[in-house]
Amino acid sequence: MSASSVVNGSLEQVLLHAKTSGLAEVLCLCLAKSGSGHMSDSSNLLQAACEACRAIWSLVNAFEFLSCKDNACQFPLYSLRSHSLLRLEISGCDQGLLLTD
């Protein structure tokens, strides 16, 4: 068994579990709740929103990898990923907001 088939099998298991457990819906609810909390001037859910976005991005990336493994093209989300996303490495609330008014 090659390393790539092991990786593909693992990705398929992760995506299947995410689908059967409703993980994407839970992550979207997390984003909605933290967004409504942020609109009411509550920033304590900012890290939860960032982690939900990161998890959704990882699921999309895994799906993209499995969908395009035989094709040379990749889903546009992968090409949009940039080094500026490193700013999202939030370890605490003391770093401040990424966006300013």
Q: Check residue 19 and give its pLDDT.
A: 85
Could you tell me if residue 100 is inside a domain?
no
Distance CA 35, CA 46 (A): 8
Could you tell me if residue 65 is inside a domain?
yes
User: For residue 93, what is the DSSP state?
Assistant: G
Q: Check residue 92 and give its pLDDT.
A: 44
Tokens 């040379």 sit on residue: 72
Q: Check residue 48 and give its pLDDT.
A: 80
Q: Check residue 49 and give its pLDDT.
A: 82
Could you tell me if residue 51 is inside a domain?
yes
Structural domain tally of the chain? 1
Q: Check residue 80 and give its pLDDT.
A: 52
Could you tell me if residue 93 is inside a domain?
no
User: pLDDT tens-digit profile of 50-99?
Assistant: 888 888 888 888 887 777 766 555 555 555 554 444 454 544 444 443 43
Q: Which structural domain range is residue 19 located in?
A: 3-85
Of 83, 95, 79, 78, whose CA–CA distance to 43 is shortest?
95
Q: Check residue 95 and give its pLDDT.
A: 41
Could you tell me if residue 92 is inside a domain?
no
Q: Check residue 41 and give its pLDDT.
A: 62
Distance CA 32, CA 64 (A): 24
Q: Report the greatest alpha carbon distance in the chain.
A: 53
Look at phi and psi of residue 100 and say left if phi exceeds 0, alpha if psi is from -120 to 50, else beta.
Answer: beta
Could you tell me if residue 56 is inside a domain?
yes
Could you tell me if residue 99 is inside a domain?
no
Could you tell me if residue 60 is inside a domain?
yes
User: pLDDT tens-digit profile of 33-50?
Assistant: 887 766 666 666 777 888
Distance CA 32, CA 16 (A): 24
